[in-house]
């Protein structure tokens, strides 16, 4: 295929660039403020060079598509030793072909995708009492709340997609709310908790909005051995960078009692993360329950979304890491709608995929190159019918953070 040599050349060029980046500064551009405060400037993007072999729902020939899969611009920092903030904007999908097999929305028109993604403020009363207010991800699940910049897989697993629609209606998974969280670090055991309430307003959740019903969330994590973090934070890493030796076991639940569209809407699940020297293992399983009115009664459905991934890290010179990784992930609709490959009451579509590849972590996740292959099957619409189709692609990529 003609595009394959081009992709290899693209990857080699990125490799050359990464070697020139050994002298990057320790972290982001930093402006100090009075009273121990500071402001960081964030710039982050992932350049993908997707070579599509098969596209679900399309008979298009193999093609290559270079685009910005994810791109962020923002400010973070602290006003003093207790008050921290973050405001971030996104311009994802710039240059994305509508016939590319990778996830994300296409970019056929002018680049008008710049919009706010996160805006929140956290006040740290004590290690066990941290209050966050603003527009951010409800602390539910694992794959959804872990940032895409710190994944061991190139693309996030399915628990980062449909569960967000089930909870808040938006694919980005953000909502306005208040969250109380805390972290207790011990010598052998550590605990993390989050409890939140969010004011949902998306039409997929509220309908006409005649009934006001907040979303309640709760999450707890028990860490054995080394913890995932030093202090309470909203950002985590899936890899231990060959340094952590610990196991994290988590559980979460969300609940919304009633809206114009449904009642007793829940997401609940379990997850685990093991980082032990060169080994990184993660797993998450979510159940998505909802009761939807129909002919004077309620139909109960439970969709499922899960992911399993692992990585083996090989040390290189100058603290670089070569990370070999595998992932299997799926969303499956309620069993009574398996023949449709779609739950018409929740819009959960069948989506199964496995992915494998390698990450060259030149500066950990700040400067990372990837080469991954993805193969899967998912539901799509054609002629008003619900059908399934296979997709596959190979993807050289570059991730850069400043």
Judge whether 132 and 121 are in contact, CB under 8 Å.
Answer: yes
pLDDT in tens, 200-217: 999 999 999 899 999 999
Confidence of residue 275 (pLDDT cuts 50, 70, 90): very high
Look at the chain and report how many structural domains it folds into: 1
**Nearest-angstrom CA–CA distance, 29 and 43:** 10
Q: Which residue has the higher pLDDT, 2 or 235?
A: 235
**Nearest-angstrom CA–CA distance, 201 and 207:** 9
**Nearest-angstrom CA–CA distance, 372 and 154:** 7
pLDDT in tens, 255-271: 999 999 999 999 999 99
Element (H, E) at 217: strand 215-225
User: 9 pLDDT exceeds 50?
Assistant: no
pLDDT in tens, 344-376: 999 999 999 999 999 999 999 999 999 999 999
Work out the burial of residue 108: count CB atoms within 10 Å of its CB; fewer than 13 is exposed, 13-18 middle, 19 or more buried.
exposed
Beta strand ranges found along 230-366 (DSSP E): 245-258, 263-276, 279-294, 297-315, 321-332, 342-343, 348-349, 351-365
Phi first, then psi: what are they for 398, rounded to 5°?
A: -135, 130
Give the domain range for residue 80. Answer: 3-401
Confidence of residue 27 (pLDDT cuts 50, 70, 90): low
Judge whether 236 and 152 are in contact, CB under 8 Å.
Answer: no
pLDDT for residue 109: 82
The distance from CA 100 to its chain's CA centroid, rounded to whole angstroms, is: 20
Lowest mean pLDDT across 290-299, 314-323, 387-396: 387-396
Average pLDDT, the chain: 90
Give the domain CATH number at 208.
2.40.160.10
Across 167-195, average pLDDT: 96
User: 19 pLDDT exceeds 50?
Assistant: no
- Residue 246 CB partners (closer than 8 Å, separation 6+): 223, 224, 225, 226, 227, 228, 240, 274, 275, 276
User: 4 pLDDT exceeds 70?
Assistant: no
Angle formed at CA 34 by CA 28 and CA 39, multiple of 5 degrees: 20
Percentage of the residues of the chain whose pLDDT score is greater than 90: 75
């Amino acid at each position: 295929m003609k595009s394959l040599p081009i992709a290899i050349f693209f990857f080699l060029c990125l490799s050359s660039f990464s070697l020139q980046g050994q002298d990057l500064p320790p972290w982001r551009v930093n402006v100090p403020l009075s009273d121990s405060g500071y402001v960081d400037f964030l710039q982050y993007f992932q350049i993908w060079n997707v070579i599509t072999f098969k596209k679900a729902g399309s008979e298009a020939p193999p093609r290559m598509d270079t685009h910005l899969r994810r791109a962020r611009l923002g400010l973070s920092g602290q006003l003093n030793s207790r008050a921290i903030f973050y405001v971030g904007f996104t311009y994802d999908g710039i240059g994305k072909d509508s016939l590319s097999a990778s996830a994300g929305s296409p970019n056929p028109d002018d680049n008008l995708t710049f919009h706010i993604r996160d805006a929140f403020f956290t006040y740290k009363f004590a290690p066990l009492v941290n209050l966050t207010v603003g527009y951010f991800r409800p602390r539910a699940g694992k794959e959804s709340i872990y940032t895409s910049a710190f994944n061991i897989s190139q693309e996030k697993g399915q628990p980062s997609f449909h569960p967000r629609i089930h909870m808040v209606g938006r694919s980005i998974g953000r909502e306005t709310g208040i969250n109380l969280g805390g972290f207790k670090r011990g010598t052998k055991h550590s605990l993390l908790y989050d409890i939140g309430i969010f004011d949902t307003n998306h039409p997929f959740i509220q309908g006409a909005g005649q009934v006001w019903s907040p979303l309640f969330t709760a999450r707890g994590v028990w860490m054995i051995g080394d913890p995932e973090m030093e202090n309470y934070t909203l950002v985590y890493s899936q890899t231990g960078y060959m340094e952590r030796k610990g196991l994290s076991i988590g559980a979460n639940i969300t609940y919304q009692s009633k809206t114009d569209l449904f009642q007793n809407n829940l997401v609940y699940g379990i997850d685990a993360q093991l980082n032990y020297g060169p080994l990184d293992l993660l797993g998450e399983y979510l159940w998505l329950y909802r009761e939807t009115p129909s002919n004077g009664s309620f139909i109960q459905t439970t969709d499922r979304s899960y992911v399993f991934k692992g990585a083996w890290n090989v040390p290189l010179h100058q603290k670089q890491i070569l990370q070999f990784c595998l992932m299997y992930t799926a969303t499956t609709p309620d069993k009574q709608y398996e023949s449709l490959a779609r739950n018409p009451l929740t819009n959960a579509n069948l989506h199964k995929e496995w992915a494998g590849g390698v990450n060259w972590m030149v500066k950990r996740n700040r400067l990372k190159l990837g080469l991954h292959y993805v193969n899967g099957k998912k539901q799509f619409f054609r002629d008003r019918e619900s059908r399934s189709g296979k997709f596959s692609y190979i993807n050289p990529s570059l991730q850069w953070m400043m």
